[in-house]
Structure 1
Amino acid sequence: MTQAHVAILDDEPEIRRMLSEALEEAGFRTTCYARATEFEAGLKRTTPDVCLVDLGLPDRDGLAIVHRLALESGAAIIIISGRAQVQDRVTGLELGADDYIIKPFEPAEVVARVRARLRKNRTEGDRSTQIARFNGWTAEFDRYVLIDQTGVEVPFSHAEGEVLRLFLESPKRLISRAQMQEMLGGAAGESFDRAMDVRISRLRTKLGEDPKNPRLIKTIYGAGYIFLGDVHWG
């Protein structure tokens, strides 16, 4: 089996060394970068399975890196940052990160989070089809795009795709916040709830939904969400 590749972007040598040693001991292949420019050049040569991204970089805004990765890469994104405020976590998740780990941390925790993301991605990749059709739309999860009836493509992030897939696999069924947290992973709490609100809002916008009266993704206040479309896979 091919080793999963983890890219580490952090300007602190000790953090890079600690993460690399822990991940390689756990069986992963790692590549370390101290600067965003080096990291972006590396992405042109290969696409990692997971990217660990520090927000406090010397040459680029870490959040901008996260947002670009979410839109252009199929890699899972885990932020590792000393910024512990709820708003920082919310912003990172809103921009497309899959998880957020606060410094200082135990290397074993990072290894566990990486494994969890890879298990989830592997489960998604093992599905027999990556294409779903619903209400005039086609979702291609291998390319991270929505296609409307005229052929216009609308990209979505990895994190938005997780939410969309959850809805499309459980149409016309109530999905509670607790179920979303359990199925999508990440720590429960205000930052998770707000990140879900933003991702769902963005999906509604991309699907051309009226925010005051959405037809497909309905909010059931105090209970969760229901996706009302007719879904066909394959």
Structure 2
Amino acid sequence: MSQPIVAILDDEPEIRRMLTDALSDAGFRTYGFARATEFEAALKSMSPDVCLVDLGLPDRDGLTLVHRLALESGASIIIISGRAQVQDRVTGLELGADDYIIKPFEPAEVVARVRARLRQPRATGTASNTAHFAGWTAHFDRYLLEDEAGGETAFSHAEGEVLRLFLEAPKRLISRAQMQETLGGAAGESFDRAMDVRISRLRTKLREDPKNPRLIKTIYGAGYIFLGDVRWG
């Protein structure tokens, strides 16, 4: 099995070096970039599994870059930033990040968060990368949703984790605890917020009515349930 690729985008050489050492020791292949332009050029020939993105970049707004990555890439996105305000974290998650780590940090924590992002949902006997439901086709190998007319909408690695979890257990209640156990990450307010953001983005991409979604239903105080019929393959 090939080594997962982690792209590190931070203009501080010491942080890039520290992260590179910790992630390389943990078995990841890493590429470091000081500027967004270098990183974006590399993406034409590189497909990272996880992107670690600092918001304070010298040549580009970090949040704009995060949003573009979430729309165009299948990578999981983890923001690493000195901005500790709650609103900064919420904005980052809403724009497409999958996690948010505040500087200063312990390298071991970053390694654990990267591993959590790459952890696959538990096997349920579904080996296919294509699922059909409610006029949609989800292509998990290409991170794309295809509608009945052939129109395509990209989804992120983290959104795909949640969507696959729903599609592998249709018409069954999935609690927050089950989501945390399956998808990984520390339980608590930050995990709950991340799940809320991902589910909201999925509903938007599935053209759901936010006030009355027909596919991904919230069961308040209990969790979520996916109401569509699903065919794999």
| TM-score > 0.5, shorter chain as reference | yes
Matches within 5 A, 1:13-52: 13-52=13-52
Correspondence for 2:175: 176
Q: Secondary structure at the match of 2:218?
A: strand
Aligned-pair distance for 1:223? 1.2
Query: What are the Cα deviations for residues 63-88 of structure 1, in whole angstroms up to 9, with x where unaligned?
Result: 12212112222222221111222222
Counterpart amino acid of residue 148 in structure 1: D
Q: CA RMSD in A?
A: 2.2
Quick one: structure 1 residues 74 and 203, their matched pair in 2 at CA, closer, same or farther if it must change by over 3 Å? Answer: closer
Correspondence for 1:119: 119
Q: Secondary structure at the match of 1:69?
A: helix
User: Whole-Å Cα distance in 2 between the matches of residues 217 and 104 of structure 1?
Assistant: 37
User: Whole-Å Cα distance in 1 between the matches of residues 126 and 227 of structure 2?
Assistant: 22
Q: Secondary structure at the match of 1:105?
A: coil
Identity of aligned residues (%): 82
Correspondence for 1:93: 93
Quick one: structure 1 residues 110 and 139, their matched pair in 2 at CA, closer, same or farther if it must change by over 3 Å? Answer: same
User: Whole-Å Cα distance in 2 between the matches of residues 145 and 187 of structure 1?
Assistant: 28
Correspondence for 1:209: 208
Counterpart amino acid of residue 93 in structure 1: L
User: Whole-Å Cα distance in 1 between the matches of residues 232 and 24 of structure 2?
Assistant: 38
Q: Secondary structure at the match of 1:208?
A: coil
Aligned-pair distance for 1:127? 5.9
User: Whole-Å Cα distance in 2 between the matches of residues 40 and 212 of structure 1?
Assistant: 37
User: What runs of 5+ residues in structure 1 fail to find an aligned partner?
Assistant: none
Q: Secondary structure at the match of 2:119?
A: helix
Quick one: structure 1 residues 40 and 158, their matched pair in 2 at CA, closer, same or farther if it must change by over 3 Å? Answer: same
Q: Secondary structure at the match of 1:174?
A: coil
User: Whole-Å Cα distance in 2 between the matches of residues 220 and 15 of structure 1?
Assistant: 42
Correspondence for 2:130: 131
Matches within 5 A, 1:149-160: 149-160=148-159
Counterpart amino acid of residue 14 in structure 2: E
CA contact (8 A) 2:7 2:31 kept: yes
Counterpart amino acid of residue 212 in structure 1: K
Aligned-pair distance for 1:58? 1.2
Quick one: structure 1 residues 110 and 36, their matched pair in 2 at CA, closer, same or farther if it must change by over 3 Å? Answer: same
CA contact (8 A) 2:126 2:168 kept: no
CA contact (8 A) 2:11 2:34 kept: yes
CA contact (8 A) 1:146 1:153 kept: yes
Deviates most, 186-195 or 58-67: 186-195
Correspondence for 2:227: 228
Between the two proteins, the alignment pairs up a number of residues equal to 232
Aligned-pair distance for 1:40? 0.7
Correspondence for 1:79: 79
Counterpart amino acid of residue 218 in structure 1: K
CA contact (8 A) 1:70 1:159 kept: no
Quick one: structure 1 residues 192 and 4, their matched pair in 2 at CA, closer, same or farther if it must change by over 3 Å? Answer: closer
Quick one: structure 1 residues 115 and 66, their matched pair in 2 at CA, closer, same or farther if it must change by over 3 Å? Answer: same
Correspondence for 2:196: 197
Correspondence for 1:103: 103
Quick one: structure 1 residues 65 and 139, their matched pair in 2 at CA, closer, same or farther if it must change by over 3 Å? Answer: same
Q: Secondary structure at the match of 1:120?
A: coil
Q: Secondary structure at the match of 2:40?
A: helix
Quick one: structure 1 residues 133 and 189, their matched pair in 2 at CA, closer, same or farther if it must change by over 3 Å? Answer: same
TM-score, structure 2 as length reference: 0.89
User: Whole-Å Cα distance in 2 between the matches of residues 211 and 117 of structure 1?
Assistant: 26
User: Whole-Å Cα distance in 2 between the matches of residues 127 and 71 of structure 1?
Assistant: 26
CA contact (8 A) 1:99 1:186 kept: no
Correspondence for 1:2: 2
